[in-house]
């Protein structure tokens, strides 16, 4: 199994970050000087992915502009000798083959992934959710690709989360196969706590086989009245092997205010120029 394609759903409304996301796609909110989606795209590239499809929606044009050239800006940077900045500005337009498709109706994550059917064709593919930024030594989607290849199965990225988080995310029924890798036999989206299988929840990363498309086509709306990817996965794991990888990385949820602040702060602390200043600033803050 070789995974060459990735899908990044970026069609959500970003309601937890309003009012900023009224006119800025949430995926374009900056983590320091880069939009969050560039960090996700880099994770895919560092994992050997060559083709990336971003699923957009109305009002997400800024994402397409970002991954395009900006000839006037580039000329002006070149003329003024700002070559470092020029390189950063050109990077998104040259870093990978990036394609776009619109999810014309907001019908949920399962439906957004289904919109990738033509792009994906008959190959396994990766899915990276834009809200979840991962920082680890090995890119998380690479950890999943390795497990998917080893077990010839689809793979989901999971971590142990609190009871409160299980009800907001999803819950996996799993049996251990080896250290940090489990076989998945059931998964439920946003369960009430008495219906949880375990405290392991899927967190934003998937390697899926193309059977998921026929399944999603038949999946009725679930939690929140939306077509849920998790419901599709629950059907997929009944007919084909699926593993959960307890991935080795820290996950940041940039889709809400506190998660966004945590990401900005920690990326700031690690940044070579901003970091030393930020530490001193915090230490001296009244």
Give residues in contact with ligand G1P (CB under 6 A). 109, 129, 132, 169-170, 189, 201-204, 228-230
Q: Which is nearer to ligand G1P, 124 or 204 (CB)?
A: 204
How far apart are CB 169 and ligand G1P at their closest, in Å?
A: 3
How far apart are CB 172 and ligand G1P at their closest, in Å?
A: 9
How far apart are CB 6 and ligand G1P at their closest, in Å?
A: 16
Q: Which is nearer to ligand G1P, 257 or 282 (CB)?
A: 257
> For every residue of the chain, which 3-state class applies, written as one string?
CCCCEEEEECCCCCHHHCCHHHCCCHHHCEECCEEHHHHHHHHHHHCCCCEEEEEECCCCHHHHHHCCCCHHHHHHHHHCCCHHHHHHHHHHHHCCEEEEEECCCCCCHHHHHHCCHHHHCCCCEEEECCCEEEECCCCHHHHHHHHHHHHCCEEEEEEECCHHHHHHCEEEEEEEEECCEEEEEEEEECCCHHHCCCCEEEEEEEEECCHHHHHHHHCCCCHHHCCCHHHHHHHHHHHCCEEEEECCCEEEECCCHHHHHHHHHHHHHHCCCHHHHHHHHHHCCC
Q: Which is nearer to ligand G1P, 204 or 268 (CB)?
A: 204
Q: Which is nearer to ligand G1P, 92 or 255 (CB)?
A: 255
Q: Which is nearer to ligand G1P, 98 or 227 (CB)?
A: 227
How far apart are CB 85 and ligand G1P at their closest, in Å?
A: 33
How far apart are CB 184 and ligand G1P at their closest, in Å?
A: 13
| In the complex, residue closest to ligand G1P by CB | 169
What separation in angstroms does the CA of 33 have from each of 44, 97, 264? Answer: 20, 22, 10
How far apart are CB 204 and ligand G1P at their closest, in Å?
A: 4
Q: Which is nearer to ligand G1P, 177 or 223 (CB)?
A: 223
Q: Which is nearer to ligand G1P, 111 or 142 (CB)?
A: 111
How far apart are CB 247 and ligand G1P at their closest, in Å?
A: 12
């Amino acid at each position: 199994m070789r995974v060459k394609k990735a899908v990044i759903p970026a069609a959500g409304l970003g309601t937890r970050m309003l009012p900023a996301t009224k006119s800025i796609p949430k995926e374009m909110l900056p983590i320091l000087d880069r939009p969050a989606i560039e960090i996700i795209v880099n994770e895919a590239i560092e994992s050997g992915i060559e083709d990336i499809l971003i699923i957009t929606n109305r009002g997400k044009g800024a994402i397409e502009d970002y991954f395009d050239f900006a000839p006037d800006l580039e000329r002006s940077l070149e003329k003024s000798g700002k070559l470092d900045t020029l390189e950063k500005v050109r990077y998104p337009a040259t870093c990978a083959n990036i394609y776009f498709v619109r999810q014309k109706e907001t019908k949920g994550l399962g439906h957004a992934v289904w919109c990738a059917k033509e792009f994906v064709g008959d190959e396994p593919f990766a899915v990276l959710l834009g809200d979840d930024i991962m920082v680890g030594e090995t890119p998380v989607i690479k950890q999943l690709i390795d497990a998917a290849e080893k077990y010839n199965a689809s793979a989901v990225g999971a971590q142990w989360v609190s009871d409160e988080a299980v009800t907001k995310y999803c819950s996996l029924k799993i049996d251990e196969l080896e250290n940090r890798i489990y076989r998945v036999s059931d998964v439920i989206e946003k369960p009430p706590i008495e219906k949880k299988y375990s405290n392991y929840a899927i967190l934003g990363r998937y390697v899926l086989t193309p059977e998921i498309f026929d399944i999603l086509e038949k999946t009725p709306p679930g939690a929140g009245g939306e077509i849920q990817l998790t419901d599709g996965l629950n059907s997929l794991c009944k007919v084909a092997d699926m593993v959960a990888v307890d991935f080795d990385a820290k996950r940041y949820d940039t889709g809400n205010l506190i998660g966004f602040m945590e990401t900005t702060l920690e990326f700031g602390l690690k940044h070579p120029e901003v970091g030393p200043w930020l530490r001193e600033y915090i230490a001296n803050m009244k």
